């Protein structure tokens, strides 16, 4: 590879598109199942085809990419499968809105034409989020991209449905489900999101038949009383013992309904009397089944009152019916009380419409047997959930799981492979579309109009993306996958269901590890949302600061089990780090553009302490980064790399190496070049999984690199022989002396051009010898004209001192500092600081300010008070030191 100069500044836009195309053209991320190396695989959590990249996606893609790039470096054949989910309800809603804007509807188009319209929409817009994921540098295998509605996955979905049906794990039945009156579809329990609502609690009196008594029920939905089929009380509630077994007369309807006793009733809630409406409440449905109650639905699919209610309410929307029922109850003096009542109300996770429990014929997966196996797999350690705190949550959900309603009353999705014979009513569930009824031979067959829940096909993702039910090489090689990285909020929606399906159909877990990543919040710790307007657009951040800066920021804060508080300033800060990397590489290339001499690193380490130290620290860094990534401690990996490169390599090594690089000693110059090129190239390799673009661009300019594609370069080998405790300790001592002199110079305002003397009282002869051997380097870095170290060194008069580990540093100040001028400067600073501190303390002493100002404003003032107090104490300490020096 021929070395070329790096441009003066790093321009991400010029670099990123180039390397994305290069990796794609080179098929860098397309593994051969028959190739060498142990398999490592990840399936991307498929984003909705309607989606756009948000910060949670950016974090998860970054985490997965770090894992994939790192494991490729270890020589593994890595498959990272990309793809999107068809997102049934969300996609149908998007297309329906566009139809409405054009003055038509899906009903006017008809089912086939509507489905064609959705496919067309998907072709035009469905690749948007995948393009954005590519922009993040995701090293996925685009040749194996999948879509949950593509031909292969559709075949797999049908096969799974039929097999589950044949195994007795799918059934059809009347059951109460969550229903969205807006989307006109069933929702799984997990698709209902609860939000606080301030409503009313109505106390309604039900006459007890044959008496002048009443039982009073409390409800938030008075319109549903039209479908009541019982009143329930607790069997131990003394207030109602004499009415149990009698009948109440249902207000506004006149129907006789039994008064029953059941321990389910909460005596403390409301009046202790519960109206039982099996058709319109989940718990009432179960209570009704237990007591053999009638199920009377009084609302239709659109949330309107139907023919089972009195005629005057028919056709009314549920909210209009509520108003009418309340007015009629008032007129009959049966409304005892109305109170404000705050409670959580279930909403459709797509359109935010308040859901209605609704009894209808649906398809269900019998989850009990599947859940038991999925739980045991984690108990046995076949799959490990990280952080471990989520394991209990996983168990709790599986222990309390209900059968999964998988049918949806929409058009976009996998059509349920079930047909009914119009002649004899026979139900046919089949892999292939039947042409005749097996029972009567009739040819008039009607397919179930419903489609499957989106999560049904997603639950099959780890094995269907690899070609199942066909026995492909990908499936044999890469299943089970190595890790699933995902957010906690789909632990049940998706993770648990993948576990159930993977174990049932593959007899093996779908992944070895489940890593639950953090939530990205705003700088104040609030969840990012459109309503708060506090979201940070990752695409805008990539445009402004470059993709690597965003990725490094996310990695640096991705501590396991701890949410990320993200502010744009942090991304900007790590852009400075990317620039630092670039500028350091430019400096290095000035010296190694023509390569470095062949030399054993163990020999090069002997050329100077700085070389021995940086090589030793590099070897330790390799182990630290490797352990951090394999332990999912991405923040530790990023922070170790940051600290090594900025503080040890740039701040110290490069400054020290300048002496040898610019010197006349050819051996030392050659050693410096060899170490410089080695450390830079191997550090780029270590950083590459986190910041792929800038590292690849710099790599392409390095001389002598046999492999031009950094994504294919192995993890740097560990050279334990270069780890030197002695070199690191000697360097730490050297640095503490240099820092001590620099601090004294800064504190006492000594001109940088003034050459100082530094004396060190060493603890023993070994320390003195180490410092003396590096006296020239200490003098160069600390700008000294004289340096001395030894066990007999004593503090001269009028000198500043500092502790350097177990040594004591003395800097004589006579001639270097004008004590009178410095004392006057410090006094002026002290007066100014006292004034500023007085203003702040006065503000914080004002109760009106403290109680009325926003908390963050008060907090900033307290921080300012602490900083000024600390500064004042330091100034007074320095004045005391000057005063003592003046007296010597």
Strands 404-405 and 418-421: unpaired
pLDDT number for residue 134: 96
* pLDDT at position 822: 67
Q: At what angle do helices 775-782 and 725-747 cross, to 10 degrees?
A: 30
Name 884's Cβ contacts closer than 8 Å, sequence gap at least 6.
none
pLDDT digits (tens, 9 = 90+) for 267-319: 887 789 999 999 988 889 889 888 889 999 999 888 899 999 999 999 999 89
**DSSP state letters, 392-430:** HHHHHHHHT---EE-EESSSSS-B--EEEETTT--EEE-
Determine if residue 530 is labeled as part of a ligand binding site: yes
| Residue 138 predicted with pLDDT over 90 | yes
Tokens, residue 57: 């996606």
Cα–Cα dist 150/153, whole Å: 6
Where residue 88 falls (left for φ over 0; alpha for ψ -120 to 50; beta otherwise) is: alpha
Residue-level pLDDT at 705: 94
CA distances from 602 to 141, 359, 605, 719 (A): 40, 78, 5, 10
322-353 burial: b if 16+ Cβ within 10 Å, else e? bebbbebbeeeebbeeeeeeeeebbbbbbeee
- Distance separating alpha carbons of residues 160 and 137, to the nearest angstrom: 34
Instruction: Note the pLDDT of residue 1.
Output: 39
Per-residue pLDDT at 2 exceeds 50: no
Mean pLDDT of 741-762: 89
Beta bridge partners of 808: 761, 803
E strand intervals along 115-187: 146-147, 170-180, 185-187
pLDDT above 50 (res 235): yes
225 pLDDT above the threshold of 70:
yes
Give the gyration radius of the chain's Cα atoms: 36
For the cut 90, the answer to whether the pLDDT of residue 647 exceeds it is yes
pLDDT digits (tens, 9 = 90+) for 804-848: 888 898 888 887 776 777 678 778 888 999 999 999 999 899 988
Mean pLDDT for the stretch of residues 525-533:
79
The better pLDDT of the pair 84, 850 is held by 84
The residue-averaged pLDDT of 141-153 equals: 96
- Which residues neighbour 140 within 8 Å (Cβ) at sequence distance 6 or greater? 29, 44, 68, 80, 81, 82, 133, 134
Picking from 131-145, 169-183, 363-377, 501-515, which range would have the lowest pLDDT averaged per residue?
Answer: 169-183
pTM: 0.83
Query: With contact defined as beta carbons under 8 Å apart, do 536 and 563 qualify?
Result: no
Three-state DSSP class for 611?
helix
Q: Are 790 and 743 in contact (CB under 8 A)?
A: no
What percentage of the chain carries pLDDT values higher than 90?
69
According to the model, what pLDDT value does residue 872 have? 87
How many residues can be counted in the chain?
A: 888
Digit-coded pLDDT (tens) for 559-616: 988 888 999 999 999 999 999 999 999 999 999 999 999 999 999 999 999 999 999 9
pLDDT classification of 4: cutoffs 50, 70, 90: low
- Token pair of 285, please? 């449905």
Q: What is the mean pLDDT of the chain?
A: 92
More confident residue, 486 or 268: 486
Q: What is the pLDDT of residue 669?
A: 96
- Omega of the bond prior to 287 within 30 degrees of 0, cis? no
């Amino acid at each position: 590879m021929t070395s070329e100069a790096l441009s003066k500044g790093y321009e991400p836009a010029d670099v990123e598109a180039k390397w994305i195309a290069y990796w794609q053209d080179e098929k860098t991320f397309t593994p051969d199942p028959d190739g060498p190396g142990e398999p490592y695989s990840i399936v991307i959590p498929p984003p909705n085809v309607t989606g756009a990249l948000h910060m949670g996606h950016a974090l998860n893609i970054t985490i997965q990419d770090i894992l994939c790039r790192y494991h490729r470096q270890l020589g593994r054949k890595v498959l990272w499968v990309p793809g999107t989910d068809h997102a049934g309800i969300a996609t149908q809603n998007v297309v329906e809105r566009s139809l409405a804007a054009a003055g038509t509807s899906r009903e006017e188009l008809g089912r086939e034409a509507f489905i064609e319209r959705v496919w067309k929409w998907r072709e035009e817009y469905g690749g948007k989020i995948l393009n954005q994921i590519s922009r993040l540098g995701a090293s996925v295998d685009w040749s194996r991209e999948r879509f949950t509605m593509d031909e292969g996955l559709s075949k797999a979905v049908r096969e799974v449905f039929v097999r589950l049906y044949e195994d007795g794990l799918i059934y059809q039945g009347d059951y109460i489900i969550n229903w969205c009156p807006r989307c006109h579809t069933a929702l799984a329990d997990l698709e209902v999101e609860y939000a606080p609502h301030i409503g009313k609690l109505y106390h309604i009196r039900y006459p007890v038949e044959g008496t002048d008594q009443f039982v009073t029920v409390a409800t938030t939905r008075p319109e549903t009383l039209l479908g009541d089929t019982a009143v329930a009380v607790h069997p131990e509630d003394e207030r109602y013992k004499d009415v149990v077994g009698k009948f109440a007369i249902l207000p506004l309807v006149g129907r006789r309904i039994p008064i029953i006793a059941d321990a389910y009733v909460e005596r403390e809630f409301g009046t202790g009397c519960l109206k039982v409406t099996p058709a319109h409440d989940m718990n009432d449905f179960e209570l009704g089944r237990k007591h053999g109650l009638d199920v009377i639905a009084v609302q239709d699919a659109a949330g309107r009152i139907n023919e089972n209610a009195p005629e005057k309410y028919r056709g009314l929307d549920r909210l209009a019916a509520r108003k009418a029922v309340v007015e009629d109850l008032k007129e009959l003096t049966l409304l005892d009380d109305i109170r404000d009542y705050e409670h959580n109300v279930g909403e459709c996770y797509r359109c935010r419409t308040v859901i209605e429990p609704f009894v209808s014929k649906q398809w269900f997966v019998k989850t009990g047997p599947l859940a038991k196996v999925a739980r045991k797999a984690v108990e046995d350690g076949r799959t490990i959930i990280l952080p471990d705190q989520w394991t209990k949550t996983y168990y709790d959900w599986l222990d309390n799981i209900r059968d999964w309603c998988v049918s949806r009353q929409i058009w976009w999705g996998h059509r349920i492979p079930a047909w009914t014979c119009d002649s004899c009513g026979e139900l046919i569930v089949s892999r292939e579309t039947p042409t005749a009824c097996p029972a009567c031979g009739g040819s008039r067959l009607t397919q179930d109009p419903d489609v499957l829940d989106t999560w049904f096909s997603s639950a099959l993702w780890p094995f269907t993306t690899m070609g199942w039910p066909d026995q492909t090489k990908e499936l044999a090689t890469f299943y089970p996958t190595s890790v699933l990285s995902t957010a906690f909020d789909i632990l049940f929606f998706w993770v648990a269901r993948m576990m159930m399906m993977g174990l049932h159909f593959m007899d093996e877990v779908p992944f070895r590890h489940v890593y639950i990543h953090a939530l990205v919040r705003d700088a104040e710790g609030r969840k990012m949302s459109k309503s708060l307007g506090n979201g940070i657009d990752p695409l805008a951040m990539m445009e402004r600061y470059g993709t690597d800066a965003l990725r490094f920021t996310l990695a640096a804060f991705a501590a396991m089990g701890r949410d990320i508080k993200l502010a744009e300033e942090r991304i900007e800060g790590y852009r400075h780090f990317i620039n630092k990397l670039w500028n350091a590489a430019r400096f290095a290339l000035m010296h190694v553009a023509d390569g470095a001499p062949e030399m054993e690193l163990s020999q090069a380490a002997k050329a100077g302490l700085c070389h021995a130290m940086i090589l030793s620290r590099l070897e330790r860094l390799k182990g630290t980064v490797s352990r951090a990534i394999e332990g999912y401690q991405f923040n530790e990996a990023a922070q170790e790399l940051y600290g090594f490169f900025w503080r040890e390599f740039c701040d110290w090594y490069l400054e020290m190496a300048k002496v040898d690089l610019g010197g006349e000693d050819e051996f030392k110059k050659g050693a410096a070049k060899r170490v410089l090129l080695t450390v830079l190239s191997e550090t780029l390799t270590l950083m590459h999984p986190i910041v792929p673009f800038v590292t690849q661009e710099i790599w392409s300019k390095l001389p002598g690199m046999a492999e031009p594609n950094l994504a294919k370069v192995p993890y740097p080998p560990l050279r334990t022989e270069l780890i030197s405790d002695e070199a690191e300790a000697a360097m730490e001592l050297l640095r503490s002396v240099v820092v001590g002199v620099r601090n004294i110079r800064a504190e006492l305002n000594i001109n940088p051009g003034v050459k100082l003397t530094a004396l060190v009282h060493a603890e023993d002869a070994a320390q003195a010898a180490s410092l003396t051997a590096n006296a020239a380097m200490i003098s160069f870095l600390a700008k000294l004209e004289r340096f001395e170290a030894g066990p007999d060194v004593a503090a001269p008069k009028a000198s500043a001192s500092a502790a350097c580990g177990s040594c004591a540093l003395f800097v004589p100040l006579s001639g270097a500092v004008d004590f009178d001028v410095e004392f006057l400067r410090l006094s002026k600073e002290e007066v100014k600081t006292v004034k500023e501190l007085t203003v702040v303390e006065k503000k914080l002493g004002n109760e009106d300010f403290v109680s009325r100002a926003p908390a963050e404003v008060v907090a900033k003032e307290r921080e300012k008070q602490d900083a000024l107090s600390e500064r004042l104490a330091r100034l007074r300490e320095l004045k005391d030191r000057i005063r003592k020096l003046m007296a010597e």
